[in-house]
Amino acid sequence: MQEISVWFIALVVLYTAIAVLDQISIQCGIYTPLFAATFVGFLLGDLQTGLIVGATLQLMTLGVATYGGATVPDYLSGAIMGTTYAIISGEGAEYGIALAIPIGLLLTQMDILGRMSNSFFQHYADRCAERGDYKGVERANLLGALPWMLSRMIPVAIGLIFGEVVINSINALIPSWFMVGLKTAGAILPAMGMAILMRYLPLKKHYAYFIIGFVMLAYAGSVFTIMAAALVGFALAALHYMRTQERQAAVQGTQASYGGMVKIDDEEVEIND
C-alpha cells in the first residue's frame, strides 16, 4: 500500500479550493469528478484508474446540476477521496466509484452548511448598504468565497488524513456479494445521468432524434463513435434550424432572413419615459 504524503494532501486540498470556485463561477470543468479524479490519478501515478473513476462518476452525474441553487451531492470531494483510496489500496476503479458515491452523498450537508453561513455576509452587506459603504458590500461578497472553499477543503483534508484507518476497517467487513453488486451498480448508474438529461430536454417532442442516436451506437457501435453521433446530431439540428428559419421567413413575407443571421442593430431602442 502506497503512503499518502503531506505534499499530496496539500496539493489536493488546494485543487479542491480552486475547483469549488470554478463550480460557482465559469464552470470550465475543474470542478467535475472527471477532472478531479484524473488529477488525483495523475498525482498518484495511476492515470488510468483516475480516468475510469472520474468518467463513471461524470456520466452518472451529467444531469445533476445546481439548477437555481439546488444542493446536489458533492461528487467532487467524493471523486477525490474515492480515487485516492482506490489507487493506494490497489483495489481498482470499481472500488473508487463505490466509495465516491456514499462520500458524495454524505457531504451534501456541507454544501447546505456553506450556503447557510453566507447569510452572515449578506446581513453584513445589508448593514454596510445602510451606511452607503460600498467597499463593505464588495468585501462581504468576496468573503463569501470562504464558506464555499472551507466546506469542501475541510472534509477532503480530514478524509485524506484520517480516512485510511476507517476505510481499512470497513473493507474487512464488506462481503463479496456486496462488492459484486456495487460493481454492477457502477455499470448501471450512468443511466441516471442520461435520465436526468432526458427530463430537461424535450424528449416527448423530439424523441425521433433520440432513437436515431440510440440506433447508431446500439447496432453500429463498432463503426460509430460518440463524436460521429454528435456530428450527425449537429447536422440534424442544423436542418431543423434552417427549416424553422425558412418557415419564419415565409410567415414574415418579404422580410426574409436566410441562414438565421440575426441583425441586432435592426431594432432601434428608444426610451421615451
Partner 1 sequence: MTNQTDTSTKLTKQDIKKVYTRNLFGLQLGWNYEKMQGLGYAYVIMPVLKRLYGDDPEKMKKALKMQLSYFNTSQPMSHLIVGADMALEEELGIEAEETVMAVKTGLMGPMAGVGDTLFLAIYRAICFSIAAYMAMQGNVVGLIIPLIACAAVLWVRYKFTYIGYKSGRKMATNFSDKLAPVTEAASILGLTVVGALIPSVVSYKTDLAFTMGEVTFAVQTDILDKILPSMLPLAIVMLSYWLLGKKKVNSTRLIFILLALGMLLGNLQNILVFVTGLF
Window 203-242: residues binding partner 1 (CB under 8 A):
203, 206-207, 209-219, 221, 224, 226-227, 229-230, 232-234, 236-238, 240-241
Q: Between 172 and 262, name the residue whose CB sits nearer to partner 1.
A: 262
Residue 47 cell numbers, joined: 492515470
Q: Which of residues 142-171 bind partner 1 (CB under 8 A)?
A: 142-145, 148
Binding flag, residue 52, partner 1 (CB under 8 A): yes
Chosen residue from 4, 17, 55, 106 binding partner 1 by CB under 8 A: 55
Q: Between 161 and 194, name the residue whose CB sits nearer to partner 1.
A: 194
Minimum separation from the CB atom of position 161 to partner 1 (A)? 27
Q: Between 3 and 130, name the residue whose CB sits nearer to partner 1.
A: 130
Q: Are the beta carbons of 147 and 117 closer than 8 angstroms?
A: yes
Minimum separation from the CB atom of position 269 to partner 1 (A)? 5
Chosen residue from 68, 165, 173, 255 binding partner 1 by CB under 8 A: 68
Binding flag, residue 1, partner 1 (CB under 8 A): no
Minimum separation from the CB atom of position 6 to partner 1 (A)? 26
What is the full DSSP assignment across the chain?
A: -PPPPHHHHHHHHHHHHHHHHHHHTT--STTSHHHHHHHHHHHTT-HHHHHHHHHHHHHHTTT---GGG-----HHHHHHHHHHHHHHHT--HHHHHHHHHHHHHHTHHHHHHHHHHHHHHHHHHHHHHHHT-HHHHHHHHHHTHHHHHHHHHHHHHHHHHHHHHHHHHHHHH--HHHHHHHHHHHHHTHHHHHHHHHHHTTTTTSHHHHHHHHHHHHHHTTT--HHHHHHHHHHHHHHHHHHHHHHHHHHHTT---GGG---GGGS------
Q: Which of residues 126-145 bind partner 1 (CB under 8 A)?
A: 126, 128-132, 134, 137-138, 140-145
Q: Are the beta carbons of 39 and 16 closer than 8 angstroms?
A: no
Q: Between 1 and 188, name the residue whose CB sits nearer to partner 1.
A: 188
Binding flag, residue 174, partner 1 (CB under 8 A): no
Minimum separation from the CB atom of position 119 to partner 1 (A)? 4
Query: Site for partner 1 (CB under 8 A): how many residues?
Result: 118
Binding flag, residue 264, partner 1 (CB under 8 A): yes
